[in-house]
Structure 1
Amino acid sequence: MSPADRTPAVDEAAAFERLGSVAFAESSLQSVLQAVADLTKQVVPGSVEASITLLVADRATTVVHTGQLALDLDESQYGRGYGPCLHAASSGQTVEVLDARTEARWSDYMVTAVERGSLSSLSLPLGTSENLGAGLNIYARESAAFDEDGRRIGHRFARFAGVAVANMHAYESARERADHLQTALESRAVIDQAKGILIERYKVTAEEAFTVLAQASMAGNRKLRVVAEHLVTTGELLVPTRS
């Protein structure tokens, strides 16, 4: 039976309508990607399982999957350090395996794929940033399972997943920078308050007050912010200043 003869569980247009209705602000990256994997399995004709690989700092992780077959084959590749899903995620190239029984590439992995029951696969890059590789992996139980329509559907889902990953990565990076900035501003505010207390108490300059805090920090092996917060909260300098 050819891929064109097999009826998908979900209509392609309905699937993308469901994906388009996902509220990114109210969803986690994992939940969005799980929706992509689940709908990929339902829309691509035939008996398939799907997963999404993220490659960060050369470390690969399967963040979502639709079944044990996909997870096992992903992890089999991670253990070897090579395979179609890793190649797609790292190189940005689409990799199709027509028949794992005769595929010459990654021959030892292909033996495992056949043993686990996957005779063909389609690994699609998500088009994410240079420091964040990712791929959509579709494993089929039949050989030559993907026709032109199946490949087109796979690429559409991969592009959607790539946008989700890139947007979430950018959002998390921006949030991390904002958190660091907020911490820096809060630290500066409490240090300025502590300096003000010392200026008033000892009639010293702002520079001299900062020196007192720095000396207390070094003498007590504590962060400057901790020393300042303690002074602001209790009125006590953790390490007494020398006269």
Structure 2
Amino acid sequence: MDTELPLADELAAVFARFSNVLLTEETVANALTLITEAAVLAVGDAAGAGVSLLDAKGSRSSAASTSSIVARADSLQYELGQGPCLSAWASGHPVDIADVRTDLRWPEWGAAADELGLRSCVSVPLLSGNLAFGAIKIYWDKPKAASHRLIRLLELFAAQASIFLVNVQARDKGRMLSEQLKSTLAQRDVLSTAKGIVMSNRRIGDHDAMLHLMARALNEDRTLQEVAEDVIGSTPGLDT
């Protein structure tokens, strides 16, 4: 039996609030600002959030943050060439710091973050297919060991944010989509189809269908894409 997890419910509610605005947003800068605000709402107890888009060499092309302190913490990573955001982008996997005073992976950045009053952080990559094109960072002003559940929540958040950003980038640049962007949009179509199946089978609305898929992804420790493909694959008469 599926269990609707509170975190999935909160995440679905956050995106229900921001989705209409994000899907019609015409500039990357404004979309990034909205995503940082949504990230703080999704987590609840964070000191702030930041998001950066990076090119193939790891240089920032766009960035946004919820405060000047977060903006400075983010900028220091690129000035020093070290930090959780760059590591999440380079590896394509989440990176968490329970306490900058005891985590010695990035000593210069950790000391600087501590001086800014930031003690812990989770950074999750923004992915287009298998390629990272940026990262979302959540900061706390106290030590915090991120649970597996929280990291999974942020991965789901980043996956949804990536879809919004791909759409905005395509409109903002006014050019043909690359194959990677086409792949990401195809993933969005799979998710939409899966939501439609859940809505029909369970006789529920769009919001509740998204909540159901997120809860299942969290419960089964899988990605939204994997769950959506499974829903479609188990429905007779549908080709993936």
Relative to the length of structure 1, the TM-score reads: 0.61
SS at match of 1:143: coil
Q: Which runs of 5 or more residues in structure 1 are unaligned? A: 1-7, 179-243
Change (3 A) 1:26 1:43: closer
| 2:43 equivalent to 1:44 | yes
What's 1:63 paired with? 63
Map of 2:113 onto structure 1: 113
Larger radius of gyration: 1
Q: Distance in 2 between matches of 1:104 and 1:89?
A: 19
Counterpart of 2:93?
Answer: 93
Q: Corresponding residue for 1:208?
A: none
Matched, 1:27 2:30: no
Say whether the 8 Å CA contact 2:46–2:138 is kept in structure 1: no
In 1, the alpha carbon distance for the partners of 2:163 and 2:103 equals 31
Task: State the shift of 1:156 in Å.
Answer: 2.2
Q: What are the ranges of 5 or more consecutive residues in structure 2 without an aligned counterpart?
A: 1-6, 178-240
The Cα of 1:77 is off from its aligned counterpart by: 0.6
**Equivalent AA in structure 2 for residue 140 of structure 1:** W
**Counterpart in 2 of 1:79?**
79
Tell me how far apart the structure 2 counterparts of residues 148 and 131 of structure 1 sit (CA, whole Å): 23
Q: Give the superposed CA RMSD.
A: 2.7
Partner of 2:220 in structure 1? none
Partner letter of residue 127 of structure 1?
A: L
1:172 CA displacement: 4.8
Q: Distance in 2 between matches of 1:95 and 1:142?
A: 17
Alpha carbons 1:94, 1:123 under 8 Å: kept: yes
Secondary structure class of the residue paired with 2:21: coil
**Aligned ranges for residues 122-141 of structure 1 at < 5 Å?**
122-128=122-128, 133-141=133-141
Q: CA deviation at 1:41?
A: 1.0
RCO comparison, higher one (Cα < 8 Å, 6+)? 2
Structure 1's 115 and 24: CA in aligned 2 closer, same or farther, altered over 3 A? same
> How far is 1:47 from its partner?
3.4
Which SS does the other structure have where 2:102 is aligned?
coil
Q: Deviations over 1:40-64 (max 9, x none)?
A: 1122132321111111242124521
Count of aligned pairs: 169
